[in-house]
Amino acid sequence: MKSVLLIGLGRFGRHIAMKLNDLNYQVLAVDSSEERVDDALSFVTNVQIGDSTNEEFLSSLGIRNFDVCIVAIGDNFQDSLVTASTLKELGAKKVIARASKGIQEKFLLRNGADEVVYPEKQLAAWTAIRCMSDHILDYIELDRDCSIFELSVPEYWDGKTIVQLDIRKKYGINILGVRENGKLNLEVVPGMILSKEKSILVLGRSKAVQKCFHI
C-alpha cells in the first residue's frame, strides 16, 4: 500500500484526500489551518498542523518514508514553490505539485516538482471537448494527438457488430470497452453487437475520432 504526504487541504487538496481514502491509501495530510485539518480527520490516516515552508517541520515528517508527496497549495504560489523545493532537498521520492498558471508550472518543474497538475487548464480542455458534440460523454488526453473518449453509440451503428464497423482498420481507432446500464465491459470481442443505448470507450488520434463520429 502506497503512503502519501498531502500538503494543502483547500478544496483541491480535500478532494484528493477523499479520493485517496477511497483507494485505501495511507495519507498524512498537512495544513496550516486547524479548521481544515479538523475537517479532514475522517478521511485521512493522520494529520499535522504546520508550516510546510519550514524545513525543520517538513524534516520531522520523515519525507523519505512516503512514496509520493503532493503539494496541493492553491492560495500562495511562493509557499507552493518553497515546499516543493524543500521536499526534494529532503529526499522526497516523487513530488507532484499544483499550478494555476503556465508560468507556475515551469517554475515548479525547475525547482523540485517531478510532475505538475494544472486543474484549471485540464478542466478547460475537458469542457471544450465535451462541447464539441453530444456524442462525447468523457475525455482523457494522453498527449497532443492521442486521447481516450467515451462516446454514445451513433444511431447508424445500432445493431451492428464491432467487426462490421471495422473502425480500427478504417480510422486507426481501438474500442477499449462498452458501457451498458452504467457497467463498463472491457471484454470486447469482434462479434459484440452495439446499440444506441450503449456507450463505447475508444482510443485514437483526436482528428480520427472527429472524422469517424462526424464531430
Give per-residue pLDDT as tens, 162-184.
999 888 888 999 999 999 988 99
Instruction: Tell me: pLDDT of 29 over 80.
Output: yes
Residues 6+ apart with CB under 8 A from 196: 152, 153, 154, 155, 157, 158
Between the alpha carbon of residue 119 and those of residues 1, 80, 198, the distances in Å are 26, 15, 30
Higher-confidence residue: 18 or 101? Answer: 18
pTM over 0.75: no
Instruction: Tell me: pLDDT of 26 over 80.
Output: yes
Interatomic CA distance for residues 51 and 58, integer angstroms: 8
SS3 177: strand
Per-residue b or e along 107-134, where b marks 16 or more CB atoms closer than 10 Å to that residue's CB: bbeebbbbebbbeeeeeeeeeebeeebe
Residues 6+ apart with CB under 8 A from 27: 3, 4, 5, 6, 17, 20, 21, 44, 45, 46
Q: What are phi and psi of 155, to 5 degrees?
A: -60, -35
pLDDT of residue 57: 96
Higher-confidence residue: 213 or 160? Answer: 160
What is 3-117's CATH topology? Answer: Rossmann fold (3.40.50)
Structural domain spans, the chain: 3-117, 122-212
pLDDT tens for 122-155 read 777 777 777 767 778 888 888 778 889 999 998 8
pLDDT of residue 9: 94
pLDDT of residue 143: 77
pLDDT tens for 58-101 read 999 999 999 999 999 987 999 999 999 999 999 999 999 998 87
Residues 6+ apart with CB under 8 A from 172: 204, 205, 208
Contact 30, 61 (CB under 8 A): yes
What is 122-212's CATH topology? Answer: Alpha-Beta Plaits (3.30.70)
